[in-house]
Chains A and B, each alone.
Chain A
Amino acid sequence: MGLKSLAEQAQILLRSRLCNPNFIFSIFSNSPDSNYSKLKYMISSSVTEACNNSVLLLGPRGCGKVPVLELVLEDLLKEYPDMISVIKLNGFLHSDHNCALKEISRQLCLEHQLLFSKMASFDDNAQFMVSMLRECGLAHKTILFILDEFDLFAQGKQLLLYSLLDAMQSVTSQAVVIGISCRLDADQLLEKRVRSRFSHRKLLFLPPSREDLQRLLEHILLLPTNSSFPHEYVAAFNDKLLKIFTDDKFKETVDSLTYCDSTVNHLLRFLFSAVSHMDLKSGLLSLENFKGALSTIQRQPKVEALKDCSILELYILVCMKRLEAKEQELRNFNSIMKEYKSIHDTFPTSDYYARNVCLRAFEHLLQRELISFEDNRGHGQSTEFRPVKLLISWPELYQGLKSYHSCPLILHKIMDREG
């Protein structure tokens, strides 16, 4: 036992932290003008003043909208234990009106220990929801409707939104509708009658700034000092980690990570990979872990696919590129074969293969998604006649050929000529 299982325990702790978004975003709940406090103030004032309200939480995916909301709800449920009941809906699952009402009724029944019948019809569910709203309003209990993926509810006829917001207009009901969406224009998607019933409150969630990022890293990765881990181990772990944080190379790594995607989710995946590769003998994280994690998370799929191609497939790609350069309108398998033949007439090589072999290589390229059919309609025609297009750009193709280990010289010559 000893150090190995200690390192494993530390790894398990860090991994569970990384997979638990509520923990991650609890750090942002301290300051008074954060989204957390604004949201909390808004909901608690609706609950205490017994009024209706609606708000939209908007921001790119992975910026903490749902975790912050969950933290707020946790706190509110502790403060006002019997005055809130929560209904959670998701746009992926419940964008259909029937499904949504069924789910609302099911959750209401679950919360208030009533019997839910799956056979209940749509009208029954609708009536049930309306009467529950009235009853809860009379009992001074607020119902919170949380609509995740709000933009999916705004597709189609928006019946659910209308019925919810309309039910909120009556005096007796007490409900708060919270919509969460990654589309920043989600409120523009609403119909006129829905939008007029909607209060235009929006909270914007943005990716963290540099200082926030630093605080976040420390919050996640530093082991807690008052835990079951032995004191020396925790001190050694945290010291090494703080030294890494001040290292320039580490800052470079994090910078290049956040250039393409600065959301918290991306950072969490990067940290997950680094933590999983932690050296279990020493039990400490090192700079190599972070650098290795960066290379695994930043991938170039088309370049990888190109490296996997065989030489015949490279020929086909180069022929397609030549056809594009010649601006030929008809680019299908037959015209590629014609180009292939003409290449071999000018530079005779041993790489001239029969038509059916080339067709098979063509199909492999289609599977790899380096080329694709131009239209989806033409299912009536066979593979040889449907027009295709290249999905890889010329510079990428050029680079790929240059780094291919045994690429025939002819292809290099042709690519150089095309420029």
Chain B
Amino acid sequence: MGKEQSPQVNRRTTRSSSSTTPNSKATGEGSKIISNTKSLTVNDLVLSDESINLEELINSFPHRRMQILELIKLLGPLNSPMIPLFVYGGASTGKTSTVLEIFKHLNRPFIYSSCVTCYNPRILFESILNQLLLHRKNESNGYSSAKRCEKPSDFVNLLRDALSTLIDSLKGDLGKSNSKKSASQVNGKMIYLIFDNLEHVREWDKSSNMLPFLFNLYDILKMPEVGVIFISKTSLDTYHSDTGYVEPFPVYFPDYTEGDLRQIFLKNQSNPKLYSSFLDAVLGPFCRITRRVDDVTNAISPLYKKYCELLDDTGVIPNKDMKSELYRHINPYISQSLKETFHVPSQPTLEASASKDKTKRKGITKLGVSESFDKMDFHMSTCAKYLLISAFLASRNPATLDASLFDSTGGAGNQKRKRKSSGKSMEQKESKEQELLMKGPGTFPLERLLAIFQCITSVAEYSPDDEDPQIDGQGADGWDSGLMSDVLLQLSSLCSSNFITKGGSCPLEGAIRYRSAVSEDMALKVARSLKFPLSKYLYRT
């Protein structure tokens, strides 16, 4: 997927990859010993050895010129203090990569932590302190952090100490080596803290304390040599707080327009004219659905392969006739692809689709999708399958119908002849049923589930079952009692794998209620694999 992907998506290099490469280049001993044993220096706080100039930076992020210049102006000249910044915008608009590349260009030291990988306060605090104290987790220290820090009060004290030592060392370096400035030397004596993915902090346990604390961190520290930058997917007004907080300065990254996307995709193409005629055909329909770069990339890259099928030589520049021919060829695949949800196919399905092409199915094969829609693609025990179907029925049908649907003979109750109802009441019934469907699956207590399960399984053993030949030999009682003991175990494993969800207990009844979480398609698949007539039991007028 190399060239066609837009540069934003794979631009970010991790800190460890960029800091181990200079090590392996410098120590040419070729030792297989892990080069992590070399201790970190301040130089490792900068993104990488090579620096890029402003023109390269702007060219590598098309249509972000305004935002890049704004950020550089707000960061200001070397060693000038800064108020906290808040960079926000939709997903995959290039916020993180732009900010990191700007720091690469300016060669200033920064500490980066993402609130996705640091998913609670302790990990966040320890990650920041590790980076500041130039501590790396490795075998010798048992992969532990430099300092143990759980509470914000400890964090602020340790942070202050770590920042002052680091800033002193930066000032010392600056004084010493003013004469020889190598490219990898860090610039300036300010340190910047970058908090990425801030919107996840809202869902943390102590978020009502944590968010105002992070926003007020700059004021609490009172150190002008520190700059704070927040990156978030949502704007500042979605961060609610009881008593407010110090507001950082907002910088907005808008989504790309269709023209912007076009330019992004045309970058680094081997044959721009061909690709541009491809984009003429394809980009319009997809941009009506979404303009996110990652979604559109994943959707159109398989289409491009299809587009170039007719051409023997992909380096050719198409003329008008060729363009219209290619457009006719690709058109049906576009409408096919629009029905899917831009998912990235995993490797097995790619191979399966290749084998499907060989079998020459009639009609248009779906690109990259090969699941057969009538079979289950994972294995479940018979008892679990019956339990799942019972849960689905219990959620789907109202409780009052149980008596008529599952009578004592165990079969679907003989459909009594209904009185012919007038057209209007039929409509009302239908609309009520639709409402019930739209509201979603209902809850049921454990006893109802077990009752339905009993009814269904007592029917099943009378029907010929060619899956498990042993069952034919056993009597009805033996099968039942053998099954009952681990039904509750199966139920708990279904709950923990989220096929059935456990709700809170109703205050009146006091028992726990369950809810089925499978869709109708899934239930039909399961029923089909058991040869169970599901449709007979579903509540339908």
Contact = CB atoms under 8 A, between A and B. Distances in A.
B340 A16 contact: no
Contact of A354 (B77, B339, B437): B339
Contacts of B288: 310-312, 351
A330 B438 contact: yes
Contacts of B74: 272-273, 276
Contact of A356 (B234, B287, B340, B503): B340
Residue in B246, B247, B502 with the greatest tally of chain A CB atoms within 10 Å: B247
Contacts of B233: 367
B38 interface: no
B217 to A, nearest CB: 9
Given A20-B224, A380-B515, A368 B90 contact: yes
A354 B295 CA distance: 16
Interface string A308-324: 10111100000000000
Nearest to A98: B151
Given A12-B76, A361-B290, A364-B292, A332 B438 contact: yes
Contacts of A338: 434, 438
Contacts of A96: 151
A305 interface: yes
A288 to B, nearest CB: 14
A402 interface: no
B290 A272 contact: no
Interface in B271-305: 287-292, 295
Interface stretch (A33-41, A86-94, A191-199): A86-94
Contacts of B339: 353-354, 356-357
Contact of B243 (A151, A359, A364, A385): A151
Given A299-B252, A361-B289, A16 B80 contact: yes
A56 interface: no
Interface stretch (B208-216, B448-456, B529-537): B208-216
B250 A308 contact: no
Interface in A237-285: 265-266, 268-269, 272-273, 276-277
A396 interface: no
Contacts of B119: none
A92 B206 CA distance: 11
A15 B80 contact: yes
A114 interface: no
A335 B77 CA distance: 55
A308 B213 contact: no
B287 A276 contact: no
Residue in B151, B156, B288 with the greatest tally of chain A CB atoms within 10 Å: B288
B289 A353 contact: yes
B472 to A, nearest CB: 39
- Residues of A contacting B: mostly: helix
A269 B79 CA distance: 19
B235 interface: yes
Contacts of A3: none
Contacts of A304: 235, 252, 254
Nearest to B218: A19
Contacts of B151: 93, 96, 99
Contacts of A8: 77
Contacts of A382: 440, 517
A62 interface: yes
A310 B235 contact: no
Nearest to A377: B504
A370 B44 CA distance: 41
Interface residues of A, number: 67
B255 interface: yes
A308 B261 CA distance: 13
Contacts of A273: 74, 249
B237 interface: yes
A16 B213 contact: no
A381 interface: yes
A18 interface: yes
Contacts of B254: 304, 307-308
A385 B292 CA distance: 26
Contact of A301 (B79, B224, B235): B235
B412 interface: no
A269 B290 contact: no
A400 B212 CA distance: 31
Contacts of A106: 157
B410 interface: no
B152 A92 contact: yes
A7 to B, nearest CB: 10
Interface string A53-90: 00000000110001000000000000000000000001
Contacts of B77: 8, 11-12
Nearest to A391: B238
Interface string A350-384: 01011011011100100111000000000011101
B250 A310 contact: no
Contacts of A130: none
Nearest to A94: B153
A335 B438 contact: yes
Contacts of A330: 435, 438-439
Given A182-B243, A356-B340, A381 B224 contact: no
A184 to B, nearest CB: 11
A182 B244 contact: yes
Interface string A150-173: 010000000000000000000000
Contacts of A276: 73-74, 76
B249 A357 contact: no
B82 interface: yes
Contact of A93 (B152, B236, B244, B439): B152
Nearest to A5: B77
Interface string B114-152: 000000000000000000000000000000000000011
A334 interface: yes
A303 B280 CA distance: 29
A323 to B, nearest CB: 12
B341 interface: yes
A12 B212 contact: no
A276 B251 CA distance: 13
B94 interface: no
B450 to A, nearest CB: 20
Contacts of B501: 380-381
Interface in B427-459: 434-435, 437-441
A351 B291 CA distance: 15
A380 B251 CA distance: 37
B220 A93 contact: yes
A353 B335 CA distance: 10
Contacts of B354: none
Contact of A312 (B255, B290, B439): B290
A138 interface: no
A389 interface: no
Nearest to A18: B83
Nearest to A151: B243
Contacts of A265: 246-247
B81 interface: yes
A19 B375 CA distance: 65
Q: Please provide the 5 A-B residue pairs with the shortest distance between their CB atoms, ordered closest to farther.
A: A385-B440, A301-B235, A334-B438, A308-B255, A19-B81
Interface of A: 8, 11-12, 15-16, 18-20, 61-62, 66, 90, 92-94, 96, 99, 102-103, 106, 149, 151, 182-183, 265-266, 268-269, 272-273, 276-277, 296-297, 299, 301, 304-305, 307-308, 310-313, 330, 332, 334-335, 338, 351, 353-354, 356-357, 359-361, 364, 367-369, 380-382, 384-386
24 contacts: A8-B77, A11-B80, A12-B79, A18-B83, A19-B82, A92-B212, A93-B152, A94-B153, A149-B243, A182-B243, A265-B247, A296-B251, A307-B254, A308-B90, A308-B255, A332-B439, A351-B288, A361-B290, A367-B233, A368-B234, A369-B238, A380-B515, A381-B441, A384-B440
Given A90-B220, A369-B234, 10 more contacts: A19-B81, A19-B224, A92-B152, A99-B151, A299-B250, A311-B288, A338-B438, A354-B340, A368-B90, A385-B441
